Amino acid sequence: MNPLAPAWLTEPDDANDLAPLVWPDSIKRTKKGELSVGGMKASKIVEAFGTPIMVLDEQHVRERAERTRRAFEAAAARHDGSARVYYAGKAFLTTEIARWMIQAGLNVDVCSRGELETALAAGVPADRIGFHGNNKSVSELERAIDVGLGTIVVDSPIEIERISAIAERLGTSQRVLVRVRSGVHADTHDFLATAHEDQKFGFSLEEAESAVARIRELPSVEFVGLHCHIGSQIFGVSGFRESASRVLELHERLLEGGPVPLMNLGGGFGIAYTRVDTPAEIEDLADGIVDAVANECAARGIEMPALAFEPGRSIIGSAGITLYEVGTTKPVTVETDDGSADRLYVAVDGGMSDNVRPALYGAQYSARIASRASDAAPALARVVGMHCESGDIVVDNEYLPGDIVPGDLVAVASTGAYSAAMASNYNHVPRPAVIAVRDGEARVILRGETINDLLARDTGITEGLDR
Ligand code: LLP
């Protein structure tokens, strides 16, 4: 054991192994030791598309989407109820992914004009789109109402009036959910928890009651139910249960003033980024949450509303890997309590611009050499990027074969959610392409940026330096 390793990371017997749950379903090592995903060898992918490159296992995404829908539908059907699943596009959305979701029987949840237009361009029927956001602009709301969006999740009293005015002007009526903070602080990173009191989203349970009363006065806005999302990357069911029970208390009170046909309990189901993460199976989560809602409804003597869920990460996260090329390696000696130890810095050709999660949340990841297997003894490594910041970490702690050298390809696991979606051009680095692989074939679903794309925004270049 390297004393610099965190307690959770044990030295593997084989630093080529692929921890279950962490990697895409189709990942394998070929006879020669190279990684392949979707039937495509890492070297072939890189030959065709370069590095860094984000690779999505298409079958994995499609299967997770279907499985999630089936899990919630089955859980609700056991209580004679219904459930529908929205894919949270913020995790990562392109037109192709939106179509995979529709084909798998899911709906799509969007939270900006860009996501909305992507879903519409993909041909997602407007009534299968839900729209979120704490500060949707008037023009975003106009577009959403104009195309006949299924539901808009209302986040503030001001927004109720805006939606009403727009719907009235357009001569239509808009279905809305009211987002509430249930007061449950999910057991996750502070930035990822969204239902505790002191943050920007939604209404408190008390405020929501008057918000609903106001909506019910308005002829162009139709109240269909409450919405609560407690946070993201959550492993157990207890937070969801507690939250559902608090929301149902309000739901029951609201029934006195009219129908409340729906309840949306958000997403947030966690995935394994490292071998020590233990996410629940989606079927167990679905059963646990839906059973809790059904029991609570029975205890209150009310009918179970139609349920909706909106997971993003748990559908696409583990389906993605990012391939990088190693540029330099450097052992760094660090003093410890009883001497010193080495950490091997492995620098790759991407970093916080293609995955900001380690820098932003201290997120941990797993990595392996993708281009070959190696018998070398494992070395405690830190995979870092090429940006001008010491916090530019790709994988903070991982044992990699100690003979890793420049030119090796490194694969980082579980980058399907919130990596490409949150990518930036920091340091004027172009954002990498995203490809989908399946049955030995690869195709670009989001093209990579070029230096010319970056320069094209600079008016000094496009309009002349002497302007
Ligand atoms: N519904 C609402 C209202 C949300 O705000 C979110 C995520 C989701 C659904 C989907 O959550 P998921 O199932 O993907 O956990 N950038 C962070 C995650 C932020 C999530 C924001 N909202 C990260 O990289 O971990």
Per-residue three-class SS string for 236-305: CCHHHHHHHHHHHHHHHHHHCCCCCCEEECCCCECCCCCCCCCCCCHHHHHHHHHHHHHHHHHHHCCCCC
Q: List Cβ neighbours of 294 (8 Å cut-off, separation of 6 or more).
A: 78, 79, 81, 304
Binding-site residue ranges: 268, 310-313, 357, 361, 389, 418
Question: Model confidence over 94-130: pLDDT tens digits?
Answer: 999 999 999 999 999 999 999 999 999 999 999 999 9
- Looking from the CA of residue 421, the nearest atom of ligand 1 is 16
Sheet of strand 35-37, all strands in order from the earlier edge strand to the far edge? 28-29, 35-37, 40-41
Locate the ligand 1 atom nearest the alpha carbon of residue 418 and give its number.
Answer: 24
Q: Which residue among 86, 90, 247 is best mutated to probe the pocket of ligand 1, counting the most ligand atoms within 8 A of its Cβ?
A: 90
Q: Supply the CATH number for residue 335's domain.
A: 2.40.37.10
**335 and 374, same domain (yes or no):** yes
342 shares its domain with 390: yes
| Residues 237 and 211 placed together within one structural domain of the fold | yes
39 plus 188 within the same structural domain: no
Whole-angstrom Cα Rg for the chain: 24
pLDDT by residue for the chain (467 residues), tens only, comes to 899 999 999 999 999 999 999 999 999 999 999 999 999 999 999 999 999 999 999 999 999 999 999 999 999 999 999 999 999 999 999 999 999 999 999 999 999 999 999 999 999 999 999 999 999 999 999 999 999 999 999 999 999 999 999 999 999 999 999 999 988 877 666 666 666 677 899 999 999 999 999 999 999 999 999 999 999 999 989 999 999 999 999 999 999 999 999 999 999 999 999 999 999 999 999 999 999 999 999 999 999 999 999 999 999 999 999 999 999 999 999 999 889 999 999 999 999 999 999 999 999 999 999 999 999 999 999 999 999 999 999 999 999 999 999 999 999 999 999 999 999 999 999 999 999 999 999 999 999 999 999 999 999 999 988 76
Note the pLDDT of residue 195: 63
> Is 169 found in the same domain as 243?
yes
For residue 1, tell me if it sits in a domain: no
Cα of 199 to ligand 1 centre, how many Å?
15
Does residue 111 have an active-site annotation? no
**Which amino acid is residue 318, in one-letter code?**
S
Claim to verify: residue 134 and residue 260 sit in the same structural domain: yes
**Chain segment 9-35, per-residue pLDDT in tens:** 999 999 999 999 999 999 999 999 999
Q: 313 and 372: one domain?
A: no
Question: Which of 200, 201, 271, 313 should be mutated for ligand 1, with most atoms under 8 A from CB?
Answer: 313
With 0-12 / 13-18 / 19 or more C-beta atoms within 10 angstroms meaning exposed / middle / buried, residue 47 is exposed
- What is the Å distance from ligand 1's center to 231 Cα? 7
Whether residue 388 sits in one domain with residue 324:
yes
Q: What is the pLDDT of residue 192?
A: 62
Please give the C-alpha separations between residue 185 and each of 39, 199, 230, in angstroms, as whole numbers: 42, 11, 7
Give the pLDDT confidence score for residue 183 in this predicted structure: 86
- pLDDT computed for residue 190 by the predictor: 65
What's the pLDDT score for residue 257? Answer: 97
Query: Using a 6 Å cutoff on CB, does residue 357 contact ligand 1?
Result: yes
Nearest to 374 by CA among 410, 346, 350, 349: 410
- Ligand 1 near 232 CB (within 6 A): yes
| CB-CB neighbours of 78 under 10 Å | 12
Is the bond leading into 52 cis (omega within 30 degrees of zero)? yes
As annotated, the binding site for pyridoxal 5'-phosphate includes 268, 310-313, 418
Q: Quote the pTM value.
A: 0.97
Tell me, using a 6 A CB cutoff, whether residue 181 lines ligand 1.
Answer: no
Q: For the chain, how many structural domains are there in total? A: 2
Pick the residue whose CA is nearest to atom 20 on ligand 1.
232
Query: Which domain range does residue 298 map to?
Result: 59-317
**Ligand 1 lined by 233 (C-beta under 6 Å):** yes
- Do 119 and 138 lie in one domain? The reply is yes
| Residue 303 belongs to a domain | yes
Residue 229, ligand 1, Cβ within 6 A: yes
Q: What is the pLDDT of residue 197?
A: 72
Sole residue written with tokens 């051009």: 425
